[in-house]
Structure 1
Amino acid sequence: MLPEPGPAIEVTDLRKVYGEKAAVDGLTLRVERGCFFGFLGPNGAGKTTTIRMLMGLAPATSGTIRILGHDMPGDAVAIKSKIGLVPDDTLLFDHLTGGEFIEFVGRMYGLGRPLAHQRTSELLELFELHGAGRKLIGEYSKGMKKRVAMAAALIHRPELYLLDEPFEGVDAVGARLMKDILLDQVRQGATIFLTSHVLEVVERLCDRVAIINQGRIAVDGPLSELRAGVAADPDRPGTPETLEDIFVRVVGGPARASESIDWL
């Protein structure tokens, strides 16, 4: 399917204040449909808070959010029906099996029981979770929980995926499978909004990147253009920067260990 016209996400001057501290401070962002978008930042920069506002789980203090042509929170139900979410803390039900949870999510999104059951079986097979049998989610490893969360996000074929650290704790085989599935979803016209601390993964998957620091956007643009800047290494002028180079330069990396502790 071809992406519909207009942005998947359009955020203007978004703020979220807790007490006297702004976790997100004047965020303006546009994510086009069909884009694999990387949303990066150091710990505490405001990434998860932003995703929670996009999902309607945390009300914004001020600013506007428009997702897939709908306003949040006014059209929250319509928006949520078109979104697949993999949260950082994998909000799963520990006392269900993986299959029960995935099928439950499918039913919540309006799938009929036979279709939800069929898709659940196929997703369990795809994510190699069928061997877990009657084992409860509370007994799963972190990587298995991420696989269940990803499968549940896929079951209703959403237009937009919000993925908060989806590869954390997932082994190399599982991560490769998840990456291939996500890339295929983008090829089919879906939009992916990804946060990850694994910059090599972002660099390989994303075509556009924004870096948030202290609640504000520090860098936003196509990854190819960002990497075409001056190299961080003065001995290699003109060499394209890696995403890690860009990230450390933008957020202000620490001094080298050999410079900060003499005896190391």
Structure 2
Amino acid sequence: MLPPLVFGLALLIVWDLAIRIGAVDTFYLPAPYDLAKYFVDEFLHGDLRDYTKETVWEALAGSGMGLGVALPLGYLIARSELAAAALEPYLAASQAVPAVALAPLFALWLGYGLLPIAVLCALLVFFPILVNTVLGLRSLDPDVMGAARVDGVGWWGMLWYIEFPLALPSILTGVRNGFTLSITGAVVGEFVMGGEGLGQLLSVQRQEADTIGLFSTLVMLALLAAGFYGVIRLVERLVQR
């Protein structure tokens, strides 16, 4: 915990010194104190909080959709050689298509609003969870699985009491990475398909050359991603106890 804090403090000191000695114009890089003051004012008294709520809702909706598809599909691929052979090439090829290229298609197919943005988020969330689910299930000790079958454990008991708990650390790693990416999906979706979240706010601030506003929104996005990451990381630690 200490090294990141020390690095962050050193970065802030260098940043502030660069502003004070005039090495960087504040039009391009606002001073840390000014940015912090602007951020707090916008969050408490401006529209930043409302934009943030919209982006969080889009990210959570997409994360839920991605998780709901990735877990059962990951189980199917891990347990069926036929399904793995049929699906894995297409899943791998799908990762070559950038999400921003799919956003206009989703707008055409699904219209505008929450649904297409949530679907875009789900695509980004889906793959890390799928991969880690497959890896977690395939890495289970075959001796443990065999002993459970000898003891007469059925399919549901095997899944719920043995496979899922043992694979859970790997699955949560995928969930942590995927949920963090959902913020990116929401912003990209809002860039292309509109909306009322932080991506839309970034578009407005860019058009107005509002540098300090852009930095403030970027800080909020970073905090959201760190928050998602931290919550899942906490769940991982609780599970590992």
TM-score where L is the length of structure 1:
0.25
Structure of greater relative contact order (alpha carbons < 8 Å, 6+ residues apart): 2
**Highest CA radius of gyration, 1 or 2?**
2
TM-score where L is the length of structure 2:
0.27
Structure with the largest fraction of helix:
2
Structure with the largest fraction of strand:
1
